[in-house]
Amino acid sequence: MCLAIPGRVLEIFADRGLRMGRADFGGTVRKVCLEHLPEAGIGDYVLVHVGFALSKVDPEEAERTYRFLEDLDQLGELQAPEAEP
């Protein structure tokens, strides 16, 4: 029910005073309300739930989390107790 997916903003327009747009979700393009995400511009990824953009995806945070997890095994090795000689 709380499913929300990231889509890339393709277009922004006004619909009788409401900031609306179209976003691309992996090839499917849908209308999205951007009224409460004024910082989102064309080309940005936004998280959309039932046609409403909730949040902008922060590319730096996404990269940081992912890199950290990718490097986990190296960290694990660093933290592992040293083998007895």
Partner 1 sequence: MKYLDEYRDGRVAAKIVAEIRRVTTRPWTLMEVCGGQTHSIVKHGIDRLLPAELELVHGPGCPVCVTPLEQIDKAHAIARTPGVIFTSFGDMLRVPGSQTDLLRLKSAGADVRIVYAPLDAVRIAQDNPGREVVFFAIGFETTAPANALAVTRARALGVDNFSMLVSHVLVPPAITAILQTPGNRVQGFLGPGHVCTVMGYREYEAIARHYRVPIVVTGFEPVDLLDGVLRTVRQLEAGEASIDNQYSRVVDRDGNAGAQRLIWSAFEVCDRKWRGVGTIPKSGLRLRYELHDYDAERRFEVGALETREPAECISGQILRGLKKPHDCPAFGTRCTPASPLGATMVSAEGACAAYYAYGRHREAAAP
Helix (H) or strand (E) run with residue 47 in it: strand 45-49
Helix (H) or strand (E) run with residue 73 in it: helix 72-79
What does the per-residue mask of binding to partner 1 show for 36-55, with x meaning CB under 8 A? Answer: xxx------x-x-xxxx-xx
Tokens of 49: 């739930």
Which position among 3, 43, 78, 84 is part of the footprint of partner 1 (CB under 8 A)?
A: 3
Nearest to 13 by CA among 27, 32, 28, 26: 32
Which position among 10, 29, 42, 62 is part of the footprint of partner 1 (CB under 8 A)?
A: 62
Residues within the interface to partner 1 (CB under 8 A): 1-6, 8, 16-18, 25-26, 30-31, 33, 35-38, 45, 47, 49-52, 54-59, 61-62, 64-66, 69-70, 72-73, 75-76, 80
